[in-house]
Amino acid sequence: MSAGWLRRRFLPGGPLPAPRPSAPRASPVPYRRPRFLRGSGSSPAADAARRPDARPVRSPARGSALPWNAGYAEIINAEKSEFNEDQAACGKLCIRRYEFGAEEDQEWLTLCAEEFLTGHYWALFDGHGGPAAAILAANTLHSCLRRQLEAVVEGIVATQPPMHLSGHCVCLSDPQFVEEKGIKTEDLVIGALESAFQECDEVIGRELEASCQVGGCTALVAVSLQGKLYVANAGDSRALLVRRDEIKPLSSEFTPETERQRIQQLAFVYPELLAGEFTRLEFPRRLKGDDLGQKVLFRDHHMNGWSYKRVEKADLKYPLIHGQGRQARLLGTLAVSRGLGDHQLRVLDTNIQLKPFLLSVPQVTVLDMDQLELGEDDVVVMATDGLWDVLSNEQVALLVRSFLPRNRDDPHRFSELAKTLIRSTQGKEDGPAGERQVSYDDVSVFVIPLHSQGEGGSGP
């Protein structure tokens, strides 16, 4: 992304791509469920043929193990869409030595194993506007991440990242400046995750355009590397650390509400992006004709507090961000403000684009597992918003803490726990109405046990 990119890409006069290419250059992205569900009875056909009262909770076949013996389960929505728009991926992350081309030091090359560094990867993608973007992300993001990590792997395995990445040896250059800035090896992994999300976003943009498809997705990724767990989030999924005496969110949600100031700021700088159809200002409700001339509560991009303004005609336009909580929408269209894809997304019946307001860059948090005295039942629960809309962090922790100690002998207990969590979002059919909140959304859950993390190997 270069300077002036946004202007060139999105503003009048720039090389705006046509809303739709005239003919597809490739076949559409085929619908599928995560690879690791093979043999579990899950099939795309079953999704399309489901009845609302017969939505099965799916998880990997007994006997097929995910990294760290993690558990997984998913359920499709109650006919909100034809397909399950959630996707998941996980696997071992094998980071090879970077090839440096002509000047490479042959002697050093022979000292290096083919797999220089290994880690593990779990990812959830919650699609919207169709399943294509989430499927592409599940197919692609881990490759982008591997490439980005390989580009800096020398620095990652050093005690401190060198100022210069020589390609010849891991020798510290200018350590005093790196020290002063407090740059640590984990900052290179964070940087690689940030770059990987952006690279993956570009791939999705190209692929969807080529296949004449649309859509976007959120992305929540956990990566284990050298004793640390990195959680990168762009969207409204959530990762939660649950231990015996501790609950700790490892991500925060990015929605039009939580990113209000960033979004309003962009509309302030580039009012053209609203094409005169929306107002950048926030009001407690949409204004009507009889509010004209009155003083009403409002908030602009620079304000955390509220003030009053006299209503003018322009204030009656539809608000840039409208609605509360789960109903909050960006430009009346989208419930999330970060994610991958949506390159072609426009406000219905207009040419107003959503993409300039969306960020693909994730927020990354780091959990230093080596610093924790991990218990057998300490887990990270990763789930799409369908779970968190219905269950609070505390309710999830309660379910984790009551389920795991009672099922220590079951080798599939983490998938069983993931299923239990999903079933808790489905209400009780024979119970009194309102006894439980019910999720009609797709829900996908990973349960990652931390205790066995040493066993997976995190070399070199």
Pure H helices in 31-151? 44-49, 106-111, 132-151
User: Which residue's CB is nearer to its own copies, number 46 or number 158?
Assistant: 158
The residue from 80, 308, 402, 454 that contacts its own copies (CB under 8 A) is 308
Question: Does residue 299 touch its own copies according to CB under 8 A?
Answer: yes
Q: Does 406 bind its own copies (CB under 8 A)?
A: no
From first CA to last CA, the distance across the chain in angstroms is 33
Minimum distance of its own copies from residue 68's CB (angstroms): 24
Residues 95-154 that bind its own copies (CB under 8 A): 148, 151-152
Enumerate residues 6+ apart whose C-beta is below 8 A from 3. Answer: none
**CA–CA gap between residue 134 and residue 123 (Å, rounded):** 11
| DSSP SS3 for 182 | coil
**Looking at beta carbons only, is 52 or 305 nearer to its own copies?**
305
Q: Report the 10 Å Cβ neighbour count for 63.
A: 8
CA 167 from centre of chain:
32
CA pair distance 201, 197, nearest whole angstrom: 6
C-alpha distance from residue 375 to each of 13, 150, 378, 395, 421 (Å): 59, 32, 5, 20, 20
198 binds its own copies (CB under 8 A): yes
Identity of the residue, 10 or 440, whose beta carbon is nearer to its own copies in the bound complex? 10
* C-beta atoms surrounding 302 within 10 Å: 9
Site string for its own copies, 339-378 (x = CB under 8 A): --------------------x-x-xx--------------
> Segment 155-184, which members bind its own copies (CB under 8 A)?
155, 161-167, 174, 177-178, 180-181, 183
Answer whether 69's CB lies under 8 Å from 456's CB.
Answer: no
**Amino acid identity at 58:** R
Please say which residue, 247 or 296, places its beta carbon nearer to its own copies: 296
Select from 143, 252, 294, 350 the one that contacts its own copies (CB under 8 A). 294
Taking CB under 8 A as the criterion, which residues in 256-275 touch its own copies?
Answer: 267-269, 271
Which residues here bind its own copies, judged by CB under 8 A?
A: 1, 3-4, 6-7, 148, 151-152, 155, 161-167, 174, 177-178, 180-181, 183, 186-195, 198, 267-269, 271, 280, 284-285, 291, 294-297, 299, 302-308, 324, 359, 361, 363-364
